[in-house]
Amino acid sequence: MKYRYLPMTSQDQREMLDTLGIESVEELFSDIPEEVRFKGELQISEALSEPELIDYFQKLANKNANFSTHANFLGAGVYQHHIPSVVNHMLLRGEFFTAYTPYQPEISQGELQAIFEFQTMVCELTGMEVANSSMYDGATSLAEAAMMAAGHTGKKKVLVSHTVHPEARAVLATYAKGQGVEIGEISYDQAGGTDLAALQAMLDEQTGAVIVQYPNFFGQIEDLQAFADLVHEKGALFIVSANPLALGALEAPGKLGADIVVGDMQPFGIPASFGGPHCGYFAASSKLMRKMPGRIVGQTKDESGKRGFVLTLQAREQHIRREKATSNICSNQALLALAASITLSAFGKQGVKEMALLNLSKAHYAKQAFAERGFEVTFTGPFFNEFVVNFAKPIAEVNRALLQANIIGGFDLGLAYPELAGHMLIAVTELRTKADIDRLVQELEAINRG
């Protein structure tokens, strides 16, 4: 069989073997002990021709309900937003797409400048002084922030609000185990926000960091300022995990006392894609700059005085510091950071705010509609684009019924919060029309009656 990715002809092979003075390719593997040579053929999926391949994957894709076949009300950390058409066109340029880490700055100025612009956009949105080039996702970014804070303060205890994304807390627990950091969870109050009194009781001199999500997992907007003062009083760092779209409308965490801001850029130009690849971001105050994980791009000049960009502050990183590195991250989510940058360039100063306000208004309309039809809207504090409704019946059942109406229902909170079984977390973005929302409420009324 011939392979379109393999250009070696039998003549090429002959010529190369002649140069090497050997008879067969097999001789090049003579250093592999016979007993560990693999004999026979790998028992893996069979090869498909290009048309067969497309057909095969199209059939698999067709088995999945998706945002083009269903009206989607799932959020819970991954959101369906409008992606401007230009994003994909620019992203797919091979010069970006098929490059690797910009180790050779003279032929990587495009990527380096794009990252420098990304870092600037992250700083602008979060109100922080420095940002890195990206992390794997929001969850690992949060975990790395906690580890960095524990390392920086020398205090090996981190408190995380129970209203932080459950998967981020799970990833945090794994990182914490690795590095011997103790994790405490702060409960939430009746309004669905982090319980300030509970935090007060848990905070002590051994606490290195406190983590709060903004808006939190229930969609509620936490009053960051109230936490920041408490946290700083005890000499701990305040870490905020923020939805960057919400920051188009909400005050920047940096203005409200955050020391580190993390999160995921997924709302900006990155498809949900069954959970990844997305794009963690990481921003901090300048005093933490030399402790930050990940790659960082800096501005400099070339020999002729012309502006240029390079990877910088590399003394923090694993390839220099080895076992003393602050993190082991090397490959990150550069391509997704580029997608977010292109999106933020297109939306710009006005678009990000407009999109945030569209989300806010549509979600509030939906919440109001539920309340008016007699549903119990669980939390009553200010929220962004998600809210919780109590259906008092298994959400898996409710969602199965909604699928019949081509609706992907909200997140089953009971999966992560047993005390909230029967509660659904509903996300409403700018892509849901009034008609979509009305239909959701009607269907749920029917399901509740039935």
| Chain residues 184-223 in contact with other proteins, contact rule CB under 8 A | 221, 223
Q: Does 3 bind other proteins (CB under 8 A)?
A: yes
- x-or-dash pattern for other proteins, window 387-416, by CB under 8 A? ---------x--xx--x----x--x-----
Lookup: tokens for 182: 């103790």
Member of 297, 407, 420, 447 binding other proteins (CB under 8 A):
297
Of 235 and 275, which CB lies nearer to other proteins in the complex structure?
275
In the complex, the smallest distance separating the C-beta of residue 13 from other proteins, rounded to whole angstroms, is 7
Best CA proximity match to 144, nearest among 311, 329, 297, 333 = 329
Q: Shortest distance, CB of residue 152 to other proteins, whole angstroms?
A: 15
Distances from the Cα of 444 to the Cα of 398, 405, 431, angstroms: 8, 10, 20
Quote the CA–CA distance of 267 and 82 in Å, as a whole number. 9
- Let me know: does 142 contact 164? Beta carbons within 8 Å: yes
289 binds other proteins (CB under 8 A): yes
| Shortest reach from residue 9's CB to other proteins, in Å | 8
Q: Which of 159, 381, 131 minimizes the C-alpha distance to 263?
A: 131
* Cβ at position 127, least distance to other proteins in Å: 8
Selected binder of other proteins within 197, 357, 392, 446 (CB under 8 A): 357
Residue 250 lies near other proteins (rule: CB under 8 A): yes
322 binds other proteins (CB under 8 A): yes
Region of 184-192, 199-207, 266-274, 370-378 interacting with other proteins (CB under 8 A): 266-274
Write down the least CB distance from residue 210 to other proteins, Å.
18
Unique residue bearing structure tokens 């894609």: 273
Q: How many residues bind other proteins (CB under 8 A)?
A: 209
- The smaller minimum CB distance to other proteins, of residues 82 and 232, is found at 82
90 binds other proteins (CB under 8 A): yes
Of the candidate residues 197, 330, 392, 446, the single one contacting other proteins (CB under 8 A): 330
- Under 8 Å between Cβ of 327 and 295: no
Q: Which of 316, 299, 248, 329 is nearest to 117 (CA)?
A: 299
> Least separation, in Å, of the C-beta of 260 and other proteins?
15
Q: Which of 349, 356, 411 is nearest to 383 (CA)?
A: 356
Q: Which residues of 172-199 are buried (b: 16+ CB within 10 A; e: fewer)?
A: beebbeeeebebebbebeeebbbbeebb
